[in-house]
Structure 1
Amino acid sequence: MYLSEVKQAIINSSELVIVSHEYPDGDSIGSSIALSKGLLKLGKVVKTIIDSDVPRDYQFLAGAKDFRKPKDIEVHSDSTVIFLDCADETRAGALIDSYREKCLLSINIDHHTGNTNFADVNYIDVKASSTGEIIYDLLDLLGVEIDEDIANALYISMVTDTGSFRFDNTTAKTFAISSHLIKVGVNLSAIRINLWENKTYNSINLLVDVLSTMKFACNRKVAYITVTREIMERWKGNHGELESFVSYPKSVQGIEVAMIFKEINMNEIKVSFRAKNNIDVQSIASAFGGGGHKKAAGCTINTELAIAIKNVIDYLEKKLPQ
């Protein structure tokens, strides 16, 4: 599949529905806003859907208030639905099947290894640092001039998915695009403050409580933290705040795999994996029905928290080199 085919499908559509994945991160929010604003410049009717709240860190972006919940959006039979940053059907939320059934065409744009190609048109570039990087190329193909609002959204996509350009998915192309966005007018001050210098009292206490759960396994090659519903309720937390927490166990000397176990509901545990060196955590996540990238992946395990932790640790004990 070529990006030019995605371009043509968009040109042939008058109304487009952009779907961001549930529990959104900076890439899903930034790429959705950037594509939405770009399509509006082409005179398209655009609706952006998210089955979660926009995390507080990204609410300063122009376009963040335009997201609607699925129940508030009417999807028509002649609409084209575009799924962004969704590695599989489950990431898009509960209404994905209704979108595909009602809409004329579905498009899947993503950069995750193991994407299930669930749409009519699938464009997956696993070499891209982020979905935002793909959207940059798509907007260029569509002849959309990138303005400051789009530049900020795309920069958010890339700076968050590359860990502030520290991760191995950062490429020369990533820096070249970022350079262009900065020339257009990225508000670096606003991004710095909102992403890293704007924590609430509750956010800091949430972090303190979560870090107190840190444990080690596999001869101290594995570190993990746990977020229970009780902790989240105590500090009125939201899952967007947890996005960066896994970097703390990863930062410990000698750790090869870091994990965060998040208790979403009873018997619904989301696990995020991060690798420091050469461990392929995508293969670990896939063993539990998930996916992602070699050094950043995730899955959902439908069992009790303690059992989920034991199952993953037992698996790692067998798979990690001694």
Structure 2
Amino acid sequence: MPDGDCLGSVLALGLALEKMGKKISLLSADPVPSIYHFLPGSDRFMSQVEAPDRYDLLVTLDVSSPERMGETLSPLLTAGLITLNIDHHASTPPFANYNYVDANAAAVGEIIFDLIGLMGVQMDRNIATCLYVAIMTDTGCFRYEHTTAATHLRAAKLIEYGVSPAQISTAVYEQKSITSLKVLAAALDTLQVSNCGRVAWMTLTPAVEQTLNVSDEDVDGIINYARAVQGVEVAVLFRYVSPDKCKIGFRSKTCVDVAALAQEFGGGGHPRASGCVINGDCANLADRVIDKAVEAVRESDGRCS
């Protein structure tokens, strides 16, 4: 599921390129989550391209690996186009012809903000709205540790172009569906904390997934409730989508590199937010993952504040 940083960055760059007279198409393998339907241009996304030879350039944004593009779009990487990947995940491999990865950027939206300035495109309210959503969501409303003074300065500049922080915050964070709240209740009912008190985890079982018809959008943000537990450093969310497929999310507060933790299970992401997908035998999976998480905390506790 594309998040706010991905969608906001794609839309902002697309709108900027159109102001330069370029013909563009917006692509996303997955549907745009309903909370982002207010973004200018959000109804223009396509899930596939029938004639890639009509294009000269493919730009991927906030894509940490080719697999993240989905089955319908990843073939574009070998369709003869010039490819450019812009990202801020430290674990992103150089899969495009040209790769710009700034792991110090709080969001890809920050990179696109600077790029639009270098392109000489005049900022407007629509572009500013998209960029503000990108930056706001990937910084957790400017709460995460990678938020810098420069992040706030960029956000302030976007507000000068007519962005309403209150309206955007309401649109993104105060439009919960009944289903998403039921999913949250089900997850909280499974909340467990390790003996050391430093790792917390929640589980969504196949029964819950099927009964509530759980979507990625319903699950968005739930893991943060486990991370918010006093004394907890690492939070884990297990989604048993089926008996042989589990999606795992990792979050940390201050010191544990959960990107490295996710990589042990074939995933990746940021030092404080990552994930992976396990296909195959999921028996005893939780025990194995939690043991690794506890081990990571013990190795890092000397650096934890």
* Paired-residue identity, %: 35
The residue type paired with residue 48 of structure 1 is L
Structure 1 residue aligned with 2:58: 81
The residue type paired with residue 34 of structure 1 is A
The residue type paired with residue 161 of structure 1 is D
Q: Give yes or no for the alignment of 1:262 onto 2:230.
A: no
Instruction: Measure the CA separation in 2 of the matches of 1:32 and 1:306.
Output: 39
**TM-score, normalisation: structure 2:** 0.92
SS at match of 1:122: strand
SS at match of 1:231: helix
SS at match of 2:153: helix
Q: Give yes or no for the alignment of 1:69 onto 2:47.
A: yes
The residue type paired with residue 109 of structure 1 is I
The residue type paired with residue 240 of structure 2 is E
Is there any run of 5+ residues in structure 2 with no aligned partner, and where?
none
> Compared with structure 1, are the counterparts of its residues 149 and 237 closer, same or farther at alpha carbon in structure 2 (3 Å cutoff)?
farther
**TM-score, normalisation: structure 1:** 0.87
Correspondence 1:225-264 to 2 at 5 A: 225-264=202-241
Range moving further from structure 2, 238-247 or 266-275: 266-275
Structure 2 residue aligned with 1:204: 181
Instruction: Measure the CA separation in 2 of the matches of 1:39 and 1:269.
Output: 39
Which whole-Å deviations, capped at 9, do the CAs of 1:171-225 have from their partners, x for residues lacking one? 1111010000000011323312211222122221121112112122252211111
How far off is 1:105 after superposition? 0.5
Instruction: Measure the CA separation in 2 of the matches of 1:73 and 1:56.
Output: 26
1:274–1:295 Cα contact (<8 Å) kept: yes
Instruction: Measure the CA separation in 2 of the matches of 1:274 and 1:287.
Output: 15
Structure 1 residue aligned with 2:30: 52
Structure 2 residue aligned with 1:129: 106
> Compared with structure 1, are the counterparts of its residues 125 and 140 closer, same or farther at alpha carbon in structure 2 (3 Å cutoff)?
same
2:107–2:135 Cα contact (<8 Å) kept: yes
The residue type paired with residue 231 of structure 1 is V
- Number of aligned residues: 299
1:81–1:103 Cα contact (<8 Å) kept: no
Aligned partner of 1:119 among 96, 107, 114: 96
Correspondence 1:234-313 to 2 at 5 A: 234-313=211-290
Is there any run of 5+ residues in structure 1 with no aligned partner, and where?
1-22
1:281–1:294 Cα contact (<8 Å) kept: yes
Correspondence 1:1-150 to 2 at 5 A: 23-70=1-48, 73-76=50-53, 78-150=55-127
1:25–1:240 Cα contact (<8 Å) kept: no
Structure 2 residue aligned with 1:186: 163
Aligned-CA RMSD value = 1.8
> Compared with structure 1, are the counterparts of its residues 110 and 218 closer, same or farther at alpha carbon in structure 2 (3 Å cutoff)?
farther
Q: Give yes or no for the alignment of 1:172 onto 2:149.
A: yes
2:179–2:218 Cα contact (<8 Å) kept: no
Instruction: Measure the CA separation in 2 of the matches of 1:253 and 1:210.
Output: 18
Range moving further from structure 2, 91-100 or 135-144: 91-100
